[in-house]
A = this chain, B = another copy of it.
Amino acid sequence: MRNKMKSFITNTVSDFFFEYETPRQVLVRNRRVGVVCRLIQLGVLAYIIGWVFIYEKGYQSSDTAVGSVLTKMKGVGYTNVTGEERIWDVADFVFPVQGDSSFVVMTNYIMTKGQKIDKCSEVRHMTGKCLVNTTKMCEVLAWCPVEDDGNIPDPALLMSAENFTLFIKNTINFPAYGVTRCNLVEGIDNQYIKSCLYDPKTSPLCPIFRLGDLVQLSGFNFAAIAKEGGAIGIIIDWTCNLDHDQSDCKPIYSFHGLYGNPDETDTARASVGYNFRYAKHYMEDKQEKRTLLKVFGIRFDIIVRSVATKFDIIPTLTAIGSGVGIFGVATVVCDLILLYLLPKREFYNNMKFKVTETIDKVSLHQTVA
């Protein structure tokens, strides 16, 4: 009994391993349907191989990076406002000072010196508590004298900012692939950095940028943006195919205005103006005073875009697997033509289908047989 059981299992397993099923097929020799079907199949094949695999690289998975950006400005500005000469260095014209990925370079300002908290008549804006005094003027408790920002200096006081330079260090890491890249790629050594200046054609990998170039490449006019301020995005684009050598993974820099289109009219451009107020406090005669700066400047946002792609078995097999499915659609379409549209459809129906009669009829049939 036990032997029988054992031999039964052995037979079943060996049967399973030594045989396989393959569908029986009708080879339809019909020129019209044949051509239609082959063309659809070739189309599907071309789509899967040409489009999904070669063009869209469907055999790759993708990942975005995490990273960090460090910046350093260089340059010295000189202003001469009504005979008062002044020197502006990085500690004065960059906000914030510590080299963030988003920072402002001052290009113009309205300085209000020696403000102290007092009651004074307002200039244009009410900036404090309004007290009606004897002269029937509205007096306010405010930082006096109140800032008069009616006239923006034109041309901008720090036009020399055009020649300031910006150095960018950017490191990114693709955690999924364990790859770390820095914008100081192979060949960009300390020697090269000391003398290079970014140029989209001749030095596209130099990480040192002249402010005037940045503004021009964004499509703005430096004199206009320096006067009222503006915001420029510096995009560092890392599109890396990690199936190639890592050293081919290089950044591409691009530049554009962040808020508003440089080509728009003056009214629209007005909304591009970028400014903020900044105060330097000090003590004079035991009283707190401050120098208020309305700072107009160019705000730079360094935006890192990244996508790395690499061969991965899962998208590859998913693409193949679903490709096989689409391949099957070709047969379905041709079957529809064959079985419903052709004059000989009856004949092909008989070729393709074998019908089991309903149970009752079958029983009858078997009995008869």
Contact = CB atoms under 8 A, between A and B. Distances in A.
Interface of A: 16-31, 33-35, 37-38, 41, 47, 51-52, 56, 58, 66-68, 70, 72, 76, 78, 85-87, 89-92, 95-104, 117, 126-129, 141-143, 169, 171, 175, 182, 184, 190, 231, 233, 235, 237, 258-260, 267, 270-271, 274, 276-284, 286, 288-292, 295, 299, 301, 303-305, 313-314, 317-326, 328-329, 331, 334-335, 338, 344, 347-348, 351-359, 362
A96 B278 CA distance: 10
Contact of A143 (B87, B231, B331): B87
A356 B38 contact: no
A57 to B, nearest CB: 11
A27 B353 contact: yes
B190 A127 contact: no
A317 B318 CA distance: 11
A34 B355 CA distance: 13
A143 B282 contact: no
Contact of A70 (B56, B127, B258, B362): B258
Contacts of A70: 231, 258-259, 274, 299
| Central interface residue in A31, A276, A303, A313, by most chain B CB within 10 Å | A276
Given A86-B117, A283-B282, A323-B321, A78 B128 contact: yes
Given A17-B38, A21-B28, A325-B325, 17 more contacts: A17-B35, A19-B27, A20-B33, A20-B41, A21-B27, A22-B28, A24-B351, A56-B314, A66-B305, A67-B303, A68-B102, A70-B258, A76-B126, A87-B129, A288-B291, A323-B325, A324-B329
Contacts of A279: 91-92
Nearest to A292: B91
Contacts of A283: 282-284, 289
Contacts of A30: 18-19, 356, 358-359
A92 B89 CA distance: 21
A352 B25 contact: yes
**4 closest A-B pairs by CB:** A321-B322, A321-B325, A324-B325, A20-B37
Total copies of the chain = 3
| Central interface residue in A98, A129, A184, A338, by most chain B CB within 10 Å | A98
A274 B193 CA distance: 16
* Interface SS of A by simple majority: mixed
A47 B51 CA distance: 25
Contacts of A87: 117, 127-129, 141-143
5 contacts: A29-B356, A29-B357, A87-B128, A96-B98, A99-B299
Nearest to A33: B20
Nearest to A270: B190
Nearest to A144: B87
